[in-house]
Structure 1
């Protein structure tokens, strides 16, 4: 049993298809098929059920693949420990970020990352919180940038900032005459929310109270930009995080969506970094956290002291999408 064979079965599990897995591993499909058969013969079990169209792990195969991921992560940790001996801020970092945050924060931070961490290759993955946590537990992401709290014995967290919610109203709405709007005043309004799975939806329901929220199933959205468009069209009102509510953000004219302060207890979310306990490059994540905390937009409230790491600027890093 070799590390390469373990890489093959993990690729097959991720892709669910021989041709795509072979392409991801940069080998021919016959080679991949032969190596899988060799591993199954060695182990004496069937790792995948397969036919012309489907490739599904068997129950024992799922357990083998899970441990293969862990074994490959240990190998990766050995390489990263060696790299860390030279420079903890050199090399790749796979960062997951929630979609209600990434488009509004990451572009703001990129100049500082380029300046202070020029040798850091940042790979970004945008997804819902549950999926990001799952990918990190499978060693496919190194750290996450999302709304806290996140519970679990196998993770560490670092709070970065508090982000207030604002009420977004259509132009001419009856509540637009007020400077602040309370949760009780939204009772009876058609409150537009993101679809299930978004943490921002759960936070909005927790603040406003599920019983007071008027929601139409056909008007759920998958992004804040869709919500903004729906508000502009007069379909209802919504809550926007402060970074998504900055002037000029989004494709809707500021005159079509009117923003008001939200006067409600806990009308904010706490954003922070999350990483695996015992992650070998934890210092890299902590440095990134310090850099983010030192370069936050004025629209959010930092948590803890702001201290910019001092590094000699060098050429810009490579930024790609995962």
Structure 2
């Protein structure tokens, strides 16, 4: 049994077929298949069922996979300990981030991070909150950046900043006359929403003090459910409705007319709590601390504490 064989096992479980697993391990499919067969012969058991697509582990295979993950994690931990002892920042950090954060946050710090830590490979996946959590539990990601929920199950969290929401109104909307808005001004029927699975959808409904079923029943307009916040911004300009924007999005709006369509909220200002999320077995703490440091350098000071804010989930 070799560590390489164990790595092949994990790759097959992740991709569900030998071909994709071989590509991810930078070997040919026959090489990977031969190594898995040798391991199965050595252990005297079948680890995978080849008669299903995607390929599934057998019952004993699942137990072997769990142990393989523990062994590889301990190997990785040894390397991390040595890196930290030498003050080295090397290796990879697999980061999952939700789209409504990535579009605005990544351009602010990514260049600085890569220049300061040239030997760290950031592997970034843009996925929904549920996909972040599922990926962390399956060890597909090292760390997630999400809008933190009130209950994060068995995962650990670190707050990065508290981001206010602002309203983006269509031209000539009745609320344009107001300098600031309160939650009582909002009617959920006026809102364009992101698709289900995006936390900003639930946060918008929470700010409106309503629920999704009520919105669907009352709305008589065309219902746009986009997966892209930038699409919603364009639809707002076409007077199809209004939307909520995260505060960091404002720095990318250069058109003065659009800026005149932005309205902030009176206290308590609705906000989301943005932070890291990771498992109890996460070991690349020195890399996540370096990432956190670079993020906080570019975040406005007023967002680093929750003053006069109402956290929405």
Fold shared, TM-score > 0.5 on shorter chain:
yes
Q: CA deviation at 1:53?
A: 5.5
Name the structure 2 match of 1:311. none
Under a length normalisation based on structure 1, what TM-score does the superposition of the two structures give? 0.81
Name the structure 2 match of 1:214. 215
The match for 1:280 among 263, 283, 302 is 283
Q: CA deviation at 1:237?
A: 1.0
Name the structure 1 match of 2:169. 169
Give CA deviations for 1:35-64 in whole Å, capped at 9, x if unaligned.
Answer: 223333444443322248542334443443
The match for 1:290 among 284, 290, 293 is 293
Q: CA deviation at 1:245?
A: 2.9
Give CA deviations for 1:12-41 in whole Å, capped at 9, x if unaligned.
Answer: 122222222222222222222222233334
Name the structure 2 match of 1:232. 237
CA distance in 1, matches of 2:113, 2:133: 24
What are the equivalent positions in structure 2 for 1:108-187 lying under 5 Å apart? 108-114=108-114, 116-149=116-149, 151=151, 155-187=155-187
CA distance in 1, matches of 2:285, 2:265: 36
Equivalent position SS for 2:190: coil
CA 1:218–1:187: 2 relative to 1, 3 Å: closer
**Contact 2:94 2:142 survives alignment (8 Å):** yes
Equivalent position SS for 1:85: helix
**Contact 2:160 2:296 survives alignment (8 Å):** yes
CA distance in 2, matches of 1:27, 1:94: 21
Q: CA deviation at 1:188?
A: 5.5
Give CA deviations for 1:255-298 in whole Å, capped at 9, x if unaligned.
Answer: 35721113464511111223333533323322432332232147
CA distance in 1, matches of 2:196, 2:188: 21
Equivalent position SS for 1:234: coil
Give CA deviations for 1:54-108 in whole Å, capped at 9, x if unaligned.
Answer: 4233444344334323322221121222222212433322222111111201111
More helix by share: 2
**Structure 1 residues 149-158 or 69-78, which shifts more?**
149-158
**Contact 2:84 2:286 survives alignment (8 Å):** no
CA 1:30–1:283: 2 relative to 1, 3 Å: closer
CA 1:176–1:266: 2 relative to 1, 3 Å: closer
CA 1:266–1:203: 2 relative to 1, 3 Å: farther
Name the structure 1 match of 2:247. 242
CA distance in 1, matches of 2:88, 2:11: 28
Structure 1: gaps (5+ residues): 305-322
Structure 2: gaps (5+ residues): 307-313
Under a length normalisation based on structure 2, what TM-score does the superposition of the two structures give? 0.83
**Contact 2:165 2:269 survives alignment (8 Å):** no
Confirm whether residue 302 of structure 1 aligns to residue 304 of structure 2.
yes
What are the equivalent positions in structure 2 for 1:311-322 lying under 5 Å apart? none
